[in-house]
Amino acid sequence: MRDKIPYDHTLLIFLVALFVFSSPLTHWWSTLQLPWYSIFVFWGIFIILVVINTRKQGTDDGD
């Protein structure tokens, strides 16, 4: 029987998002002259990861 903390992936996703969206990386992105939609691509990836994680936790019945 494997005991698993139900929100370990959620915490990891949150910490990665916090690092990416509120760190010196944001200054680095602005100097790269990326297209205007590039930040939305990163947010989209973050949202997709949260949705996948939520669905995975919803199907886990604790066995």
Note whether residue 43 is domain-resident. Answer: yes
Note whether residue 1 is domain-resident. Answer: no
Number of domains comprising the chain: 1
Look at the alpha carbons of 22, 9, 11, 46 in this order and tell me if their dihedral is positive or negative: positive
Q: Give phi and psi for 43, each to the nearest 5.
A: -65, -40
Note whether residue 42 is domain-resident. Answer: yes
Domain carrying residue 43: 11-21+34-58
pLDDT at 1 exceeding the cut of 50: no
Least confident stretch, 2-6, 20-24, 32-36: 2-6
Rounded (10°) CA dihedral 2, 12, 49, 19: -170
Q: Report residue 42's pLDDT band, with 50, 70 and 90 as the boundaries.
A: confident
CA-CA distance, 33 to 61, in Å (whole number)? 46
Structure tokens at 47: 């949202």
Note whether residue 2 is domain-resident. Answer: no
C-beta separation of 20 from 10 below 8 A = no
Q: What is the pTM of this model?
A: 0.61
Note whether residue 27 is domain-resident. Answer: no
Q: Report residue 22's pLDDT band, with 50, 70 and 90 as the boundaries.
A: confident
